[in-house]
């Protein structure tokens, strides 16, 4: 008997019909002789709607209350799914994150998992029930408060449970048939990948491909959990994210012997660019600036420092960070203007980031040239550049991002013949 963890995203449980469809799928999985643990997200865009509501009643930040509010979304889905499963004649029980033993640190809004003790889940499936767990949430042992793991965090709940329960597979059900060479909402000609290495999936997720939560991919790799990303709207085989580097040599019949050079293109609209203008060009200033930003709990992504103009003794430092962390970082930086001695600060939310990802980049010269040529042919101006061993990223202006993604996708021959199916969801 296999143990399968199945996670259903918001678009899969968006309404009563969706919940019933998911219930049927779960019942079929159990009837095929498996133990099933289900992780659910909040219905449709309800997490965004709760955030909108909060913004209407308060402009201040209320991290503890925000987590109480947002964690309610997943509780609604889990209870409704349990009822639909009872209606279908099976025995099911739902559990909140804390009841399921998801212990986190106390950082509201982006809590990290520190322990998983799913005793109640184990007991429930061992007596033949279907256990349903609310994704995206946990509890801090220090504060005894409810926490959330950050947007998209239900994927991470599912993998953490799969690892703790030693599940055979963790299935991530969503509104597209798997991981594609680009977001099918932006590139209709994107192709579904049969497999992707966890190394490449990590870069895709870190570069904004929200199909999988970054921490879910990291967790799956660390604990060797096989991830299968697929659609709850079709019976098609999805994409397997292979946890071990050696797995990539398991060539299936009919597949080319060498992996393609490029696995995909990712894009991200969730970042803003900060430019600190006229920073004294002396040792220690960059450390001061990034110390202040770290103190405001911001995660910095790309960094560019311009060469100081001859004789001016001053330079500009630009960096990107998540838009949601922008306000706090700006306040902290402005408060330190005199101590740091910079001249001014610029802030731009109208930017987009595009990344090209592929493990084959390491051994193939000419990838950068082709990439920049495609952008130049499409008339896209580049603001910032960063690279890793298997990724090239650029920042462009937001309104050119979609054009840039399609141009790069086509230049690397990633376009397929068919139009990728997007079954549901609003892309919000």
Q: Which residues bind ligand ADP (CB under 6 A)?
A: 9-11, 41, 152, 174-176, 179-180, 182-185, 209-211, 264, 422, 425, 427
Q: Binder to ligand ASP among 97, 118, 135, 264 (CB under 6 A)? A: 135
10 belongs to an annotated ligand binding site: yes
Task: Return the number of the residue (103 or 216) whose C-beta is nearest ligand ADP.
Answer: 216
Tell me the per-residue interface mask from 65 to 104 with ligand ASP, x by CB under 6 A, - otherwise: --------x-------------------------------
CB of 72 to Mg ion, least distance (A): 18
**According to CB under 5 A, which residues from 132 to 161 bind Mg ion?**
152
8 belongs to an annotated ligand binding site: yes
Q: Quick count: other Cβ atoms within 10 Å of Cβ 399?
A: 9
Phi, psi of 380 (to 5 degrees): -100, 125
Distance CA 259, CA 239 (A): 15
Taking CB within 5 to 8 Å according to partner kind, which of Mg ion, ligand ADP, ligand ASP, none is near residue 22? none
Task: Return the number of the residue (214 or 367) whose C-beta is nearest Mg ion.
Answer: 214
Task: Return the number of the residue (134 or 293) whose C-beta is nearest ligand ASP.
Answer: 134
Should residue 44 be labelled a site residue for Mg ion when binding is judged by CB under 5 A?
no
Pairing relationship of beta strands 35-40 and 130-134 according to DSSP bridges: parallel
Should residue 136 be labelled a site residue for ligand ASP when binding is judged by CB under 6 A?
yes
For residue 349, give the DSSP letter: -
Residue 366: CB partners within 8 Å, gap ≥ 6? none
Residue 184: CB partners within 8 Å, gap ≥ 6? 176, 190, 420, 421, 422
9 belongs to an annotated ligand binding site: yes
**According to CB under 6 A, which residues from 140 to 199 bind ligand ASP?**
151-154
Residues 181, 269, 360: CA angle, nearest 5 degrees:
30
CB of 148 to ligand ASP, least distance (A): 8
CA 336 vs CA 321, 326, 345, 356: distances in Å = 18, 16, 11, 36
174 belongs to an annotated ligand binding site: yes
Task: Return the number of the residue (75 or 141) whose C-beta is nearest ligand ASP.
Answer: 75
Task: Return the number of the residue (176 or 361) whose C-beta is nearest Mg ion.
Answer: 176
Distance CA 333, CA 345 (A): 9
Task: Return the number of the residue (375 or 424) whose C-beta is nearest ligand ASP.
Answer: 424
Number of residues that bind ligand ASP (CB under 6 A): 12
Phi, psi of 329 (to 5 degrees): -65, -40
Upper half-sphere CA count for residue 420 (Cβ side, 13 Å)? 26
CB of 94 to ligand ASP, least distance (A): 16
Distance CA 261, CA 205 (A): 18
Phi, psi of 171 (to 5 degrees): -100, 125
Could you tell me if 292 and 299 are in contact, meaning their C-beta atoms sit under 8 angstroms apart?
no
Should residue 184 be labelled a site residue for Mg ion when binding is judged by CB under 5 A?
no
Task: Return the number of the residue (97 or 152) whose C-beta is nearest ligand ASP.
Answer: 152
CB of 76 to ligand ASP, least distance (A): 11
Which of 133, 150, 141 is CA-nearest to residue 63? 150
Task: Return the number of the residue (19 or 40) whose C-beta is nearest Mg ion.
Answer: 40
7 belongs to an annotated ligand binding site: yes
DSSP-H helix ranges across 109-230: 119-126, 154-164, 198-206, 214-223
Which of 184, 169, 175 is CA-nearest to residue 225? 169
CB of 204 to ligand ADP, least distance (A): 6
**According to CB under 6 A, which residues from 40 to 59 bind ligand ASP?**
41-42, 47
Should residue 208 be labelled a site residue for Mg ion when binding is judged by CB under 5 A?
no
Task: Return the number of the residue (75 or 122) whose C-beta is nearest ligand ASP.
Answer: 75
Residue 144: CB partners within 8 Å, gap ≥ 6? none
User: Beta-strand (E) ranges in 246-390?
Assistant: 264-268, 271-280, 303-305, 314-322, 344-348, 351-357, 384-388
DSSP-H helix ranges across 165-276: 198-206, 214-223
Query: Three-class SS of residue 88?
Result: coil
Should residue 178 be labelled a site residue for Mg ion when binding is judged by CB under 5 A?
no
Should residue 18 be labelled a site residue for Mg ion when binding is judged by CB under 5 A?
no
Taking CB within 5 to 8 Å according to partner kind, which of Mg ion, ligand ASP, ligand ADP, none is near residue 73? ligand ASP
Residues in contact with Mg ion by CB under 5 A are: 9, 152
Q: Provide the annotated binding site for substrate.
A: 47, 74
Residue numbering of the annotated binding site for ATP: 7-10, 174-175, 180, 185
Residues that bind ligand ASP (CB under 6 A): 9-10, 41-42, 47, 73, 135-136, 151-154
């Amino acid at each position: 008997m296999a143990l399968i963890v199945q996670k259903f995203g918001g678009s899969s449980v968006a309404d009563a019909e969706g919940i019933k469809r998911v219930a049927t799928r779960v019942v079929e999985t159990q009837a095929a002789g498996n133990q099933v643990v289900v992780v659910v997200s909040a219905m449709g865009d309800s997490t965004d709607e709760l955030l909108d509501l909060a913004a209407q009643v308060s402009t201040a930040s209320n991290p503890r209350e925000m987590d109480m509010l947002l964690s309610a979304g997943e509780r609604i889905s889990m209870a409704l799914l349990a009822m639909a499963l009872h209606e279908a004649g099976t025995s099911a029980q739902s559990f909140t994150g804390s009841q399921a033993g998801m212990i986190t640190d106390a950082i509201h809004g982006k809590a990290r998992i520190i322990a998983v003790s799913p005793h109640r889940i184990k007991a429930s499936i061992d007596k033949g029930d279907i256990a349903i767990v609310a994704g995206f949430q946990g509890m801090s042992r220090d504060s005894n408060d409810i926490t959330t793991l950050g947007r998209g965090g239900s994927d991470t709940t599912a993998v953490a449970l799969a690892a703790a329960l030693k599940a055979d597979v963790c299935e991530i059900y969503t509104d597209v048939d798997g991981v594609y060479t680009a977001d099918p909402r932006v590139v209709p000609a994107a192709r579904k990948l049969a497999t992707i290495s966890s190394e490449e999936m990590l870069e895709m997720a870190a570069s904004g491909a929200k199909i999988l939560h970054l921490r879910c991919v990291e967790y799956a790799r660390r604990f060797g959990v096989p991830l299968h990303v697929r659609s709850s709207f079709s019976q098609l085989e999805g994409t397997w994210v292979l946890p071990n580097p050696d797995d990539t040599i398991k060539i299936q019949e009919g597949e080319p012997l060498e992996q393609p050079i490029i696995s995909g293109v990712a894009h991200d609209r969730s970042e803003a660019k900060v430019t600190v203008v006229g920073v004294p060009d002396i040792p220690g200033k960059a450390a001061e600036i990034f110390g202040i930003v770290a103190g405001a709990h911001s995660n910095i992504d790309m960094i560019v420092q311009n060469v100081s103009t001859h004789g001016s003794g001053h330079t500009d430092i630009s960096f990107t960070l998540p838009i949601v962390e922008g306000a706090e970082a700006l306040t902290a930086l402005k408060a330190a203007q005199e101590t740091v001695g910079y001249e001014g600060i610029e802030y731009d939310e109208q930017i987009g980031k595009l990344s090209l990802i592929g493990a084959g980049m390491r051994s193939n010269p000419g990838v950068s040239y082709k990439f920049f040529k495609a952008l130049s042919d499409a008339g896209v101006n580049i603001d910032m550049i960063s690279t890793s061993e298997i990724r090239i990223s650029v920042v462009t202006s937001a309104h050119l991002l979609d054009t840039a993604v399609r141009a790069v996708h086509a230049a690397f021959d990633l376009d397929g013949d068919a139009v990728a199916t997007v079954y549901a969801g609003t892309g919000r």
